[in-house]
């Protein structure tokens, strides 16, 4: 069955008076790899938080996997824009990944054997198994990013959402991360928020350009005009072919 | 050291110090990593209101402290959840209001004004056997709660948003967590008084944080450090004939400064060796 993983109709949102999102509609079929791009303060993170049920829309309808965002939460894996936490927190990679197992199973006491097996499996998949006992303050940017992806995968999500996953890592690590996402995309829907349109268009199926309003493009159709519209012509283009 | 074996009041003081160190190591670690020393300060100073009221109306100061601390914890938690933007001012106001209420009650209570000094700066040498039992019960309560909900507390203090997404009732655990801090504060007030509580709550945990990788080890090491500081402090204050609470804090503070310098130097050395 391939229905829509996410359905958004006429969604509007504002913090105070100024509208952040204005009449947005978006359908994301299951198994899609969707990029959401746009300028800073264009509403990208806000949209993600509405899909996650952390913010309530002022207007419009949002269904995730046919459920309300809050009900669908347990099927979502979220990779926040880091640093969303203190880098010097005394916690190991394995402990962070295990946090993805919270919210299922018993409430009191430690993690179950199954929780540990799942987190070892996702650490192997993200190639951080050998870092399991490292303190997170000792990780490089790329290693920390993999840890956060592993934590999201430990939720066994049907949809994976990533907020600016490449903000703090270099080009080579960025490539590795997207290669990993491409593999994961074979079994789950992926949404990536990024400001880096040129880079992600090589990986994703569709790009949603968000600057208060939203316009979707197949990646092959993105050209200078689209980018200029989005960023108000304030960017200088460098021609490149993928 | 012979004095410890000779005088029972010193033995009681020693036990009180050891008991207080357990709670201080466990909750202090959270306070340090969550950087909420200021909130703990607000809770501990509000305790004076409860102690003053207990003195005035004639019930147990420990009970008064407990009620005031829990009330302050819930209020502070509520402020943090509802009025995040003014958190700083509101906690500062509670801090001062709590103390003022306490001072007024104490001033209206007939008796010696030395009582006030012993609440502010503690008097571990006057801890009674009943108080020891009360401290033990508080300790067991704090430890049991933290053991039962270790995963949730870790997740909420590390990354609140993610914990919420995993269906953890974040606000509930946040309030529970502040209540446990309140219990610990009451535990420590017996030893060093409410002014110095923050130091004993945070210094051992901060030192432990220089050397360990996980919260579990941080709590264990902080508890052991707390025990060392209180024991050494009690002995030193006995030998020097000086106020115990202040000496304990100076021992802890001195150790913290030395440890901070040492761990900085050690990190530089390790980095230099790696590059």
Instruction: Note whether A132 contacts B: Cβ–Cβ < 8 A.
Output: no
Q: Report how far residue A214's alpha carbon sits from residue A55's, in angstroms, rounded to the nearest whole number.
A: 18
* ipTM for the predicted complex: 0.84
Place of tokens 């655990």: B173
Q: Do A91 and B155 touch (CB under 8 A)?
A: no
Q: Report how far residue B172's alpha carbon sits from residue B163's, in angstroms, rounded to the nearest whole number.
A: 12
Instruction: Note whether B151 contacts A: Cβ–Cβ < 8 A.
Output: yes
Q: Which of B31, B159, B207, B221 to mutate to test the interface with A (most CBs of A within 10 A)?
A: B159
Q: Do A135 and B213 touch (CB under 8 A)?
A: yes
Work out the minimum CA distance from B113 to partner chain A, whole angstroms: 44
Q: Which residues in chain A are closer than 8 Å to B151, comparing Cβ atoms?
A: 98-99, 102, 110-111
Q: Which residues pair with A217 in a beta bridge?
A: A207
Q: What is the pLDDT along chain B (275 residues), one digit of tens a residue?
A: 666 777 788 888 999 999 999 999 999 999 999 888 888 999 999 999 998 898 888 888 888 999 999 999 999 999 888 887 788 888 889 899 999 999 898 888 887 555 677 778 878 888 888 889 988 999 999 999 999 999 999 999 999 999 999 989 999 999 999 999 999 998 888 788 888 888 889 999 999 998 998 999 999 999 999 999 999 999 999 999 998 888 999 999 999 999 999 998 888 888 787 76
Minimum-distance CB partner of A84 among B152, B161, B215: B161
Q: Which of A87, A102, A133 to mutate to test the interface with B (most CBs of B within 10 A)?
A: A102
What order of strands is seen across the sheet that includes strand A59-64? A19-29, A4-14, A59-64
What order of strands is seen across the sheet that includes strand A76-79? A76-79, A159-163, A189-194, A33-37, A206-211, A213-218
The residue of chain B with its CA nearest to that of A80 is: B162
CA atoms within 13 A on the CB side of B122: 34
Which one is the CATH code of B3-274: 1.10.3720.10, 2.40.100.10, 2.30.29.30, 1.10.3470.10? 1.10.3470.10
Q: Which residues in chain B are closer than 8 Å to A102, comparing Cβ atoms?
A: 151-152, 155, 163, 166-168
Query: What is the value of pTM for the model shown?
Result: 0.86
CA atoms within 13 A on the CB side of A119: 23
CA angle (B234 as vertex; B233, B239 as ends), nearest 5: 95
Q: CA-CA-CA-CA torsion for B36, B41, B43, B49, nearest 10 degrees?
A: -170
Q: Which residues in chain A are closer than 8 Å to B162, comparing Cβ atoms?
A: 78, 80, 84, 99, 151
Instruction: Note whether B161 contacts A: Cβ–Cβ < 8 A.
Output: yes
Average pLDDT for runs of 10 along chain A of length 242 = 80 86 88 86 87 90 91 90 81 94 82 93 93 91 91 93 83 84 91 78 81 76 61 47 44
Minimum-distance CB partner of B148 among A85, A109, A134: A109
């Amino acid at each position: 069955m391939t229905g829509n993983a996410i359905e958004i109709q006429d969604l509007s949102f504002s913090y105070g008076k100024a509208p952040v999102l204005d009449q947005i509609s978006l359908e994301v079929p299951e198994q899609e790899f969707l990029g959401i791009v746009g300028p800073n303060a264009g509403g990208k993170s806000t949209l993600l938080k509405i899909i996650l049920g952390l913010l309530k829309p002022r207007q419009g309808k949002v269904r995730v996997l046919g459920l309300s965002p809050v009900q669908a939460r347990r099927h979502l894996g979220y990779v926040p824009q880091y640093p969303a936490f203190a880098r010097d927190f005394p916690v190991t990679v394995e402990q962070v990944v295990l946090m993805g197992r919270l919210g299922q199973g018993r409430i009191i006491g430690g993690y179950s054997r199954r929780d540990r097996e799942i987190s070892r499996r996702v650490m192997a998949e993200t190639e951080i198994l050998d870092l399991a006992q490292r303190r997170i303050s000792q990780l490089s940017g790329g290693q920390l990013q993999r840890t956060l992806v592993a934590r999201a995968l430990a939720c066994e999500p049907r949809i994976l959402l990533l907020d600016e996953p490449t903000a703090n890592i270099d080009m080579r690590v960025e490539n590795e991360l997207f290669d990993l996402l491409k593999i994961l995309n074979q079994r789950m829907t992926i949404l990536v928020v990024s400001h880096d349109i040129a880079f992600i268009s090589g990986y994703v199926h569709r790009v949603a350009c968000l600057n208060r309003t939203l316009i979707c493009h197949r990646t092959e159709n993105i050209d200078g005009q689209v980018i200029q519209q989005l960023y108000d012509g304030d960017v200088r283009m460098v021609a490149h072919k993928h | 050291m012979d004095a410890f074996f000779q005088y029972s009041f010193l033995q009681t003081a020693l036990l009180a110090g050891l008991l207080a160190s357990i709670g201080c190591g466990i909750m202090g670690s959270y306070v340090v990593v969550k950087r909420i020393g200021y909130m703990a300060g607000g809770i501990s100073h509000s305790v004076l209101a409860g102690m003053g009221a207990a003195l005035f109306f004639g019930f147990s100061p420990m009970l008064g402290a407990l009620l005031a601390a829990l009330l302050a914890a819930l209020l502070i938690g509520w402020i943090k959840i509802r009025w995040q933007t003014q958190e700083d001012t509101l906690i500062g106001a509670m801090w001062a209001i709590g103390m003022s209420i306490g001072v007024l009650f104490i001033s209206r209570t007939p008796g010696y004004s030395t009582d006030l000094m012993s609440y502010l700066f503690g008097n571990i040498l006057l801890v009674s056997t009943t108080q020891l039992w009360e401290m033990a019960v508080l300790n067991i309560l704090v430890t049991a709660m933290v053991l039962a909900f270790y995963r949730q507390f870790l997740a909420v203090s590390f990354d609140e948003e993610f914990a919420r997404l995993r269906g953890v009732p974040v606000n509930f655990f946040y309030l529970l967590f502040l209540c446990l801090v309140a219990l610990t504060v009451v535990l420590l007030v017996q030893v060093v008084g409410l002014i110095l509580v923050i130091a004993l709550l945070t210094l051992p945990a901060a030192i432990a944080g220089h050397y360990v990788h996980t919260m579990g080890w941080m709590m264990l090491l902080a508890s052991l450090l707390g025990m060392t500081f209180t024991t050494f402090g009690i002995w030193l204050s006995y030998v020097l004939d000086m106020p115990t609470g202040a000496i304990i804090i100076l021992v802890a503070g001195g150790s913290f400064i030395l440890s901070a310098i040492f761990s900085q130097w050690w990190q530089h050395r390790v980095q230099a060796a790696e590059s």
